[in-house]
Amino acid sequence: MDRHKKHLRWRDRRPWAGAWLVCALSLAIAATAVCAGAAHASTPPAVAGDQATNNELPEALAAFIDEMAGRLEENLRSSYRDRVEEKLKADPEFSPPEPDARIETAVSQFRNRATARVRELSARNALTDQAGATAVRESRRRAYDEFNDWVRAELRGVPLPERDDDESALSYFRDLARATIIDQNPMSAWLTLLGFIGLGVLVGWAVSTTMRSTSKRLESHDAPLRGQFVSSFIKPVNLLLMTLGVRIGLDVGRIWMPAGVDDFFDSVLGMLVTVSVFWALWNLCGVFTTFVAKVTATTGTTLDNQLVPLLRKTLRIFLLILFALFVADNIFKADVTGFLAGLGIAGLAVSLAAQDSLRNVFGSVTILADKPFKIGDRINLKGYIGTVEEIGFRSTKLRTFDGHMVSVPNSIVVNESVENIASRPSIRRRFTIGITYDTKPEKLREAIEILKELLDGHEWINPDFPPRVVFESFGDFSLNILVQYHFFPPDHWEFMAFSEWFNLQVFERFNAGGIDFAFPSRTLYLAGDAKRKLSVEMLGADLKGPQAS
């Protein structure tokens, strides 16, 4: 009991603990992104082998890169001059750094990046005039932002650190983060950021607490599915509100970050928003499968119960693949066309190799959707009459009256006519009672009345199909009375018990009434029969016997 209470107390604390855990994880990711992006922004990219040239590029794009390089150099010098003049007005004794080497490096980096991006597009067969121009402009913007970061750091007296050969990577990243992030932003900016993060966590906790109480209230009022639906959004909304707090804090506090770091940090925040959305969809998969399981619980078959967890896993695997492709394509700008093409080819190969198995699986889904029979039904399938014991992914199993187990592939079941004996509303019995030809008309009428009386007023007779008793025909050896009735409900052994009672009553009543049953026979008319006297005509009255010799 104490352990149970302790577990409940921990569950009550989980929303708050989860919010802080998500917050700490997000800050760790952000810090890692800042350090990695700052290092990437401050270190010029290495060019493998010789210097990248424009010889292999299309002529129009090569000319465009040259034009953008000229404009970039002019813009860098103009930006540097304006910033230095503004700094000198505030501090006349300031000694500005020499920009020529840095400008030359920035222009060279722009050419290398633009050339590499265009070649990458060409290798993917995605190079068009618009795509190439966009790649060149993005490379130019990045070079411009990196140069302005360097100018800003130099003018504030906190230049970007250079890594020594004997300096550890951790120490270098720490110095780089301090120089580019901490020392470049005032304490008020950091307090603003922390305040909005705390506000996001607080609002997320309040919203999650409200949603959790709403979920429990719905579950207590016999609406567990609605309660599960509400609870599916608790943690994703908490993460989303915390992420929005970080985003608003960065914008309001005007936190400065080097070029590349800001973009990467935006990508991280965008990924967190995407994670919260897909997290909610992940939980909704469980709600959907719970609803499906509730519906399939009334079908009486185990196949749909097996399909429910398979459906849940399939939906969640699909969500994971969709999430990975969305993040790679929209946030990290990766090329996913090759992966999609390979996935399509692999799916085609698998479908061709397993087409028989897939045909049976789709057959089982068709059986579930169409529901021609269920477990326990007695059916006639391809001449096999028996009771359905199992509906699997591959086959349907019947137990015949002889006790044999017959497995029929589902692909055959959906393409064959199935006679569902168990689904009939009643059991019809139609037969003929024959009485002898020497029965008098009044006895024939009495036999018909006896049969009608035995079938009248029984609760087992379906009122929608009243019983029929008629003098049908003159047979070869009998006077035929047609009897037809529908037994309800369609239980086989109850039907057999009623038929036995009816047969015994007919036999007893007919014997008591002197009504004879007919059967296949041949009648010989002989003298001495009291009912049929033989008439003999003599051919001669004086016939004499043979003379004695």
CATH number at residue 437: 3.30.70.100
pLDDT tens profile 320-329: 888 888 877 7
Residues 331, 460 within the same domain: no
Q: Which residue has the higher pLDDT, 295 or 284?
A: 284
Looking at beta carbons, which pairs linking 272-276 to residues 24 or more positions away fall under 8 Å? 272/26, 272/239, 272/243, 273/240, 273/243, 274/323, 274/326, 274/327, 274/330, 274/331, 275/239, 275/323, 276/236, 276/237, 276/239, 276/240, 276/243
pLDDT score for 218: 87
Is residue 332 very low, low, confident or very high in pLDDT (cuts 50, 70, 90)?
A: low
Q: What is the CATH number of the domain that holds 415?
A: 2.30.30.60
Residues 432, 397 within the same domain: no
Residues 209, 285 within the same domain: yes
6 occurs within a structural domain: no
CA distance 47 to 335: 22
pLDDT tens profile 105-130: 889 989 998 898 888 888 878 788 88
First to last CA, the chain: 132
Q: Tell me the chain's radius of gyration from C-alpha atoms.
A: 47
537 occurs within a structural domain: no
CA distance 75 to 81: 10
150 occurs within a structural domain: yes
Residues 143, 194 within the same domain: no
Residues 415, 457 within the same domain: no
Q: Out of 58-72, 249-263, 273-287, which region has the weakest mean confidence (pLDDT)?
A: 249-263
Is residue 1 very low, low, confident or very high in pLDDT (cuts 50, 70, 90)?
A: very low
511 contact partners, CB below 8 Å, separation of at least 6: none
Residues 335, 309 within the same domain: yes
Residues 132, 154 within the same domain: yes
Is residue 299 very low, low, confident or very high in pLDDT (cuts 50, 70, 90)?
A: low
Q: Which amino acid is at 110?
A: F
Q: Report the number of distinct structural domains present in the chain.
A: 4
pLDDT tens profile 176-219: 666 666 667 788 888 898 999 999 999 999 999 999 999 888 88
Above 80 in pLDDT, residue 509? yes
Q: What is the CB neighbour count within 10 angstroms for residue 40?
A: 15
pLDDT score for 338: 65
pLDDT tens profile 205-264: 999 999 999 988 888 887 888 888 898 899 999 999 999 999 898 888 878 776 566 777
pLDDT score for 450: 93
Is it true that the peptide bond before 489 is cis, omega within 30 degrees of 0? yes
pLDDT tens profile 162-175: 655 555 666 766 76
Mean pLDDT of 3-14: 42
3 state DSSP class of 449: helix
Mean pLDDT of 489-518: 91
87 occurs within a structural domain: yes
pLDDT tens profile 376-422: 888 998 888 899 888 877 888 899 988 899 988 888 888 888 888 88
Residues 142, 191 within the same domain: no
pLDDT score for 336: 67
Above 70 in pLDDT, residue 493? yes
**Structural domain that includes position 429:** 424-513
pLDDT score for 172: 63
494 occurs within a structural domain: yes
Residues 263, 300 within the same domain: yes
- Mean pLDDT score of the chain, rounded to an integer? 78
Above 80 in pLDDT, residue 96? yes
Q: What is the DSSP letter of 541?
A: T
pLDDT score for 293: 76
Q: What is the DSSP letter of 43?
A: S
CA distance 430 to 7: 69
> Can you say how many angstroms the Cα of residue 407 is from the centroid of all Cα atoms in its chain?
29
354 occurs within a structural domain: no
Q: Which residue has the higher pLDDT, 325 or 547?
A: 325
Q: Which residues in 429-444 are b (16+ Cβ under 10 Å) and which e?
A: eeeebbbbeebeeebe
CA dihedral of residues 187, 192, 193, 198 (deg, nearest 10): 130
Residue 473 phi, psi (nearest 5): -165, 170
Q: Would you list the DSSP string of 44-101? A: PPP--SSPP-STTS-HHHHHHHHHHHHHHHHHHHHHHHHHHHHHHHH-TT--PPP-HH
Q: What is the CB neighbour count within 10 angstroms for residue 138?
A: 14
Report which listed range, 16-30, 306-320, 485-499, is most confident: 485-499
pLDDT score for 311: 74
pLDDT score for 5: 43
CA geometry: angle 9, 12, 18, nearest 5 deg: 120
Residues 399, 430 within the same domain: no
Residues 203, 325 within the same domain: yes
Mean pLDDT of 358-370: 78
Residues 330, 378 within the same domain: no
